[in-house]
Structure 1
Amino acid sequence: MSKFWSAVVGGLTPYVPGEQPKISNLIKLNTNENPFPPSPKVLAAIQAELGDDAARLRLYPDPNADLLKAAVAKRHGVTAQHVFIGNGSDEVLAHVFMALLKHEAPILFPDITYSFYPVYCGLYGIDYRTVPLADDFSINPDDFHGQPEKSAKNEIGGIIFPNPNAPTGRLLALDAIEQILKANPDVVVVVDEAYVDFGGETAITLVDRYDNLLVIHTLSKSRSLAGLRVGFAVGHPALIEALERVKNSFNSYPLDRLAIVGAVAAMEDEVYFEQCCRAVIATRDTLTADLRSLGFEVLPSAANFIFARHPQRDAAELAKALRDKSIIVRHFKLPRIDQFLRITVGTDTECQALTQTLQGILA
């Protein structure tokens, strides 16, 4: 605390990112990074952009990232006017909270969800209400229905949730998302699809029918580009215009030249993308079966991670025991989930090492 801090800063509880430890021979299964490298075409595109002397780096990048907007639009069957580009999906989300989630009424999101949502609410002074997940940690769309009686007491400022949810990994079907959209036509519904490529169906297919839907994606997970920081949103052009207005009041050049061309190459290499997603899903299924054979309860996952607990062993103690063996997983000290571990799907070798180590710990 400093006398120079603003009142806003003094009242913030910042987001805590996944640990990036510097441990030799580490098996890192705590931040949901893709175990595979990016498409080889990404490196080729970056090298081509640099040229022989990197002289292009003296020039500003395209503030609109038009090449990337076109690639995203082509991939998802929309127009470039339906696409917004940002510096990772977290920046996209930040602009969404400022531009589209109304500040005069509380917004809704699940009680167990991406922990950046309440952080943004604190940053922008937005009130919120959490909606409890069901006992099986699924989202019940009926709980997000708008109130039929209009009053200051029951109005909401918007709805946001990840699909698949994080950190549970559970998937909400498209018809359930559509149910939420129909019940809340006067506010924006934001579907955060960071992990949807690992077993879900994107809600982007609903954008042309619902002008209150915004879908957010990242290239950090399924495209293996966490190090480039690229995210995007797809929605009605009026929603995109609001995001552009905030972006251009904050940072007109959110993506550098190398990130733009690398992201375009990643979006265009559909064969490599599908191959990597299938491999992650196969390893996830094997890891789930192996952990269940050790007595773990594992929630159904459509993400590149699993959420698991052991009925006889404390999750914090298991996480520490794994860390002592140079295996890092994520443990959340939060109500309802403090006995769960979130485990990133790594390579087959890494996941085998995890299960073998757990077998020894449990023994």
Structure 2
Amino acid sequence: MYGWKDNIRRVRPYIPGEQPELKDMIKLNTNENPYPPAPAVEWILRGYDAEELNRYPDPSATLLVDAIARRYDLRREEVFVGVGSDDVLAMSFMTFFHSNRPLLFPDISYSFYDVWAETFDIPYRKIPLDDHFEIHSEDYAGENGGIIIPNPNAPTGIDAGQEKLEQIIRANPNAVVIIDEAYVDFGAVSLLPLIDRYDNLLVVQTFSKSRALAGSRIGFAMGNPELIRALWDVRNSFNSYTMDRITQKLGAASIEDEEYFQVQLARVVASREWTKKELRRLGFYFPDSRTNFIFARHERLPAIEIFHALKEAGILVRHFALPKIDNYLRISIGTDQQMQDMIRFLDHYLADH
């Protein structure tokens, strides 16, 4: 009677951060941008003609692809877009890691990587970071079926630097190397200039963090035309109409407002640097972040205790109950007021404990 259950694919799903609807909650757990997207985004939403929605969207997302290509001085053939960088990365796993050799990625990294690998039956091996959460390029020199590295790393916030990453790309000419740059705009150096030099390099970015469009889901990949063409082929064998009409217009409007983009980036970075100083004063230790979050542990108190205390006070941060990082909290950078409120609470809490 229940034989059909034997045919179900069993996977351990990715668990996203909490998304509470409480208006008075200080939400610092999912690395969202605390500021609104570019003003033109709101203008498009307010003036959008709903009658357009009776027609399918452009499957090639030409408006958005061309806007990204202009912004990064690329050809259209070098850009792929998807519904958030998660979608782009999932398509990349399906497209490029079709091998009996293991996919390599750091043992402390974006926790969706092993989920995708298991979902798509891709063999994989996690490469340990050292005690300082750093990668070593020689660890990725062995036989493999592909490599993916988040840079800056999530959840540690560390920028590995171009030299190490280029060594990895150069040492693996027969494998696609994906650099997941979801947080690169907050202070790291992008490897995008290297796509002309290495045809096995794919650079993936997102509008969710630095461009404040997490609610619209826009991700993109940049690489040589053969890699991009392969991605579109797999996408169109899976679902040709993934990005809706409104989102394509919002993304194009966002990326064309460079001045607003740079101003908002500077605000987040300034808040991050202020928060670093305050956390150090309170006895926290953390790697030097080049992202819009800080990955911190306290000198005395367990992370899980501080996590629950913050949550009870209406301040939500992220805790990962995983080996090597279970005594750390990932604290997203919010507005100046939100960060000041968190520090004020921690000041009182730590003084009493």
- Tell me if both proteins adopt one fold, taking TM over 0.5 as the criterion: yes
1:7 is displaced (CA, Å) by 4.3
1:80, distance to aligned residue in structure 2 (A): 0.5
Query: Which letter maps to 2:265?
Result: C
Residue from 275, 293, 310 that aligns with 1:322? 310
User: After superposition, where does 1:112-191 map in structure 2 within 5 Å?
Assistant: 112-145=108-141, 147=142, 155-191=143-179
User: How far apart are the structure 1 equivalents of 2:8 and 2:118?
Assistant: 8
Change (3 A) 1:6 1:218: farther
Q: Could you say which residue in structure 1 is the equivalent of 2:103? A: 107
Task: State the 1:4 CA deviation.
Answer: 4.2
Partner residue, 2:86: 90
Q: Give aligned-pair identity as a percent.
A: 49
Q: Tell me if 1:43 matches 2:42.
A: yes
Deviates further, 101-110 or 161-170: 101-110
| Alignment gaps of 5+ in structure 2 | none
Question: Which amino acid is 2:311 matched to?
Answer: R
Q: Partner of 1:289 in structure 2?
A: 277
Q: Are the structure 2 counterparts of residues 138 and 8 from structure 1 closer, same or farther at C-alpha, using a change threshold of 3 Å?
A: farther
Whole-angstrom CA distance in 1 between matches of 2:318 and 2:184:
20
Deviation string 1:232-287 (CA, Å, 9 cap, x unpaired) is 00011111111111100111011101100000000000000011111100000000
SS of structure 1 residue aligned to 2:66: helix
In structure 2, distance between residues paired with 1:8 and 1:190: 30
1:18 is matched with 17
| Contact kept in structure 2, 1:295 and 1:310, CA below 8 Å | yes
- Kindly provide the amino acid, as one letter, of the partner of residue 294 in structure 2: I
What SS is found at the alignment partner of 1:254?
coil
Alpha-carbon offset, residue 167 of structure 1: 0.2
1:221 aligns to what? 209
RMSD in angstroms over aligned alpha carbons?
1.2
* CA shift for structure 1 position 342: 0.1
Give yes or no for the alignment of 1:358 onto 2:316. no
What's the counterpart of residue 268 of structure 2? 280
Report the CA distance shift for 1:4/1:275 in structure 2 as closer, same or farther (over 3 A).
farther
Aligned length: 350
Where do 4+ consecutive residues of structure 1 move more than 2 Å? 2-10, 45-48
Kindly provide the amino acid, as one letter, of the partner of residue 9 in structure 1: R
One of 293, 313, 335 as aligned partner of 2:323: 335
* Structure-2 separation of matches of 1:354 and 1:4: 50
Measure the CA separation in 2 of the matches of 1:249 and 1:56. Answer: 25
Secondary structure in 2 matching 1:262: helix
Contact 1:291–1:298 (CA under 8 A) maintained in structure 2: no
Secondary structure of the residue aligned to 2:129 is coil
Deviates more, 1:14-23 or 1:317-326: 14-23
Q: Post-superposition shift, 1:307?
A: 0.3
Matched, 1:193 2:181: yes
**What are the superposed Cα offsets for residues 98-148 of structure 1, whole Å, 9 maximum, x if unpaired?**
001233110100000000000001100011111111111122222212x3x
Q: How far apart in 2 are the matches of 1:6 and 1:193?
A: 38
1:346 partnered with 2:338: no
Could you list the per-position Cα deviations for residues 205-231 of structure 1 after superposition, in whole angstroms to 9, with x for gaps in the alignment?
A: 100110000000110000000000010
- Contact 1:103/1:125 (<8 A) preserved: no
Give the 3-state SS of the residue equivalent to 2:339 in structure 1: helix
Q: Which residue of 2 aligns with 1:9?
A: 9
The equivalent of 2:286 in structure 1 is 298
The SS at the match of 1:318 is helix
* Cα pair distance change 1:43/1:307, threshold 3 Å: same
SS in structure 2 at match of 1:337: coil
1:314 positional shift:
0.6
Tell me which amino acid in the other structure corresponds to 2:117.
C
The whole-number CA distance in structure 2 between the counterparts of 1:79 and 1:243 is: 16
Structure 1 residues 144, 347: CA separation in 2 closer, same or farther (over 3 Å shift)?
same
> Within 1, Cα distance between the matches of 2:16 and 2:110?
11
Number of the residue aligned with 1:152: none
Q: Distance in 2 between matches of 1:103 and 1:92?
A: 19
Counterpart of 1:208? 196
| 1:282-304 CA distance string (max 9 Å, x none) | 00000010000000002100100
Match of 2:29 in 1: 30
